[in-house]
């Protein structure tokens, strides 16, 4: 499994259930990486999408503790075990954990690769991604040139878990 996230200098990822900054090239990157694959998210992440609707051309899986929660166009699961069972149905697709904070933290040690759009600016945030620079087992394996969108500087980073650090996936 993979993680994909946009994080600021302090690893902030959101405020009031919204992204901290919207960068068109990052949105395009997210689309290119996830289209045709499986995306896993929490309920609040789904509700932050336009119209609260699943993203097209992807298998949308929503993790919610609410047993009566349903959404058209998405698979809803209610536990880590149920999710892991559901993911077995997609052996030929890449799986991306796309948020929010609690879902990232829950599955961090099951993911082999983290794709991070790292914004070189600090925003006011109320949700955070784990700081992979301080997480044991993670190593930076790829970094783009610095990009600029108006006054926002950012890079596309790839982190990978070291051998032996990965918890059993699907």
- Residues of the domain holding 123: 2-161
Q: How many domains does the chain have?
A: 1
For 28-79, the pLDDT digits (tens) are 999 999 999 999 999 999 999 999 999 999 999 999 999 999 999 999 999 9
**Is residue 136 very low, low, confident or very high in pLDDT (cuts 50, 70, 90)?**
confident
The token pair at 111 is: 């993911």
Q: What is the mean pLDDT of the chain?
A: 95
The token pair at 147 is: 């990009």
Q: Is residue 169 part of a domain?
A: no
- Determine whether 141 is exposed, middle or buried from the number of CB atoms within 10 Å of its CB (0-12, 13-18, 19+): exposed
Q: How far apart are CA 167 and CA 51, in angstroms?
A: 35
The number of residues in the chain equals 170
pTM here is: 0.94
Q: Is residue 167 part of a domain?
A: no
Q: Is residue 125 part of a domain?
A: yes
Q: Is residue 18 part of a domain?
A: yes
Model pLDDT, residue 163: 73
The token pair at 27 is: 């949105």
Residue 169 pLDDT greater than 70, yes or no: no
Residue 155 pLDDT greater than 70, yes or no: yes
The token pair at 158 is: 């790839």
């Amino acid at each position: 499994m993979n993680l994909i996230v946009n994080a600021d200098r302090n690893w902030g990822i959101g405020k009031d259930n919204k992204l901290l900054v919207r960068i068109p090239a990052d949105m395009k990157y997210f689309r290119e990486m996830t289209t045709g694959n499986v995306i896993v998210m929490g309920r609040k992440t789904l509700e932050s999408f336009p119209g609260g609707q699943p993203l097209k051309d992807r298998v949308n899986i929503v993790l919610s503790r609410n047993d009566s929660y349903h959404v058209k166009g998405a698979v809803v699961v209610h536990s880590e075990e149920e999710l892991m069972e559901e993911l077995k149905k997609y052996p030929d697709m890449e799986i991306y954990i796309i948020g929010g904070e609690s879902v990232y933290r829950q599955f961090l040690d099951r993911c082999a690769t983290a794709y991070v759009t790292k914004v070189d600016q600090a925003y006011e945030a109320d949700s955070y991604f784990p700081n992979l620079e301080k997480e044991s087992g993670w190593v930076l394996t790829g970094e783009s040139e610095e990009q600029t969108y108006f006054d926002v500087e950012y890079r596309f980073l790839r982190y990978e878990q070291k051998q032996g650090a990965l918890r059993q996936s699907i």
